[in-house]
Structure 1
Amino acid sequence: MIPQIDPGALLVLLRETLIMFAIYGVYVLSLNLEAGYLGLPQFGKVMYLAMGGVAVGGIATKLALWIYGGAISAKAGISPLKDLNTYCAAYQYQSIAVVNDIFKSSPLEGILFFLVAVALSALLAGVLGVVMAGPALRLREDYLGILFLVSAELVRVVSTYTPQVACGVFGAVVPDPFAWMGDYRPWGYLAVTLLFLVFTFFMLDRLVNSPFGRALRAIRDAETAARVFGKDIVKFRARVLGVASALGGVAGALFVFYNTFVNMGQFVPYYTFVAWAMLMVGGMGNNVGALVGVAVYYIVSRSLEIYKDSLRAVINADPTFLQYIIFGIVIIVMVMFRPQGLVGERPSKTLSRRVLERVRGEA
């Protein structure tokens, strides 16, 4: 029996799905730059998502507690930064509530906090990406993939069991920079995430269709030939890892602000392989394909969520893990029969013939 869906609940589901689509869109587009265009086996992508968590929950939040420490002490009788362990265990919600009240009355301060936190996330993740470019130059693809995977787990474990990072196992409550929007906050945040997605898409689309992007394809397809023709492989990999990692950090920051809470233990390899599944289904080396893969994943995921009770009656089992089975089968089928994905890679855009003729004539 097909369940009846309340229109209001359906609208909320659509809104939340679009927010996650936008966040994962930024995340998967950054992975596509590394894996789809440059050919790096990036199996530690969640590491840069976690850097967004560190920047927002571990740095920007402490900065807000330091700036508004006087107001927190006056209203809640708490000095959060004097005893961080006690704050993390008992006083997070009271302290952050005071900060949120300030943001409600001062939207400009909330927006400034958001921009600073996102910039910190991009900077922290970008620097880590450039640092990881060193091993990327010296290891073969299989060993490099293992290194990325292990590094991501190292970041997760260390940050989870170090209370000074983001309150350790307790997790960190994050101020809501859009508290001033009131009841319109979810819709406002949807607009913010879509704006980041649009900016990321057009920036990367312009990048990969430039001479820089064509050089990335050349390095991916024939690294030795690209080196012979004078391409500096070191610089290209460092730049790509820096840009893609920074975008991964931005996606992590957007994800944390969506939940207004972060627990560093949540950044498990699952997030890396979900991104790879989206990219493989949509099509590697194509930004439109990357977004198609994200859309397909969330359409299937939300459909299963809506009809899980009906499925439970049919299959007589818990359908919670059914989407993993379905996407596992889908990936196997895609690899066997359509390895290029739903939207395959296309030749990079160049100047039209008319423009080329005009340029020749002017020359």
Structure 2
Amino acid sequence: MTTYVWDYLQEYREEREDLLDAVETVFSSGQLILGRSVRGFEEEFAAYHGAAHCVGVDNGTNAVKLGLQALGVGPGDEVITVSNTAAPTVIAIDAVGARPVFVDVRPADFLMDTSRVEAAITERTKCLLPVHLYGQCVDMAPLRELADRHGLVILEDCAQAHGARHHGSLAGTLGDAAAYSFYPTKVLGAYGDGGAVLTSDPEVAERVRRLRYYGMAERYYVVETPGHNSRLDEVQAEILRRKLGRLDDYLAGRRRVADRYAAELADTGLQLPRLAEGNDHVYYVYVVRHPERDAVLEALRAHDIQLNISYPWPVHTMSGFAHLGVPEGSLPHTEALAKEIFSLPMYPSLPESLQDKVIGALRTVLAAV
């Protein structure tokens, strides 16, 4: 049997009764769009974070897009972010008519190098968009200082950081607003697409609510500003409500797997994940680094282990973003990472037998490269 980086079937077997009850709850409620389950999840997710508002949307990409729009980012503006991220981060910036401006990452932990941000600020800069990558937070204090000094807004990309903490504060509570994805692989994942914008600013929250519903303040007919059809599905919201109550258990499970990898692979020559100062890591993915990455992955396939690379192509090197004119070589750490990083299997229900298989195969392969 081939081992992959993620699988939900064991979790589904363990939680099946509750998940099916969530579906029944919605189907028997008499309200299938923006009903009790969406409202309940929004209230509970906001409360988990100690934030005032959560607005559920249809996916994480639109959470970034609507978050940017609600913060006043639009055509002609610049948004500073990273190229070592999932493409949807940058797609959302492009979708609002803004221009992404990239800074490099730190080679130790692969997070935004905040010391490079000020040099990237211009008179057109409107927003700083840190990506809390792989499960831990960007250093936010320098970004907050820069934002306050230059009159900028901060939108946190928390798609990979549900439950992560930075100096005790939860990811998503450190900027002006935060965007979340609940794609099935996420730390808090739905059984389909889903997303949310978190904020304690009532005006930002109200703008997102309008934007997700065609731009209408009320249920129907009066469009105040053109918006979208970007509503969180009622069934997914009810599933997320159930799973939110288990989020801390999911985090503990991920950390147990990460601790085992760290103990068993410390002497293999892999660069293992490094915890940045002040962070509590949630290990959305367990990203390691090796100079012979491609040879390692090829050898692992002979052991029926198929691993992912997060991410093999920096966004600025993709043909779809050639119009940005960012030349290869301009982000040396990001570009070097793309040739050397890969992800080990990581999910809370990962069986010990599969952990044993991955660890054993890696030790064998790494001893030979």
* Same topology, TM > 0.5: no
Higher relative contact order (CA 8 A, sep 6+): 1
TM-score, length-scaled by structure 1: 0.22
Max radius of gyration: which structure?
A: 1
Q: Greater share of strand residues, 1 or 2?
A: 2
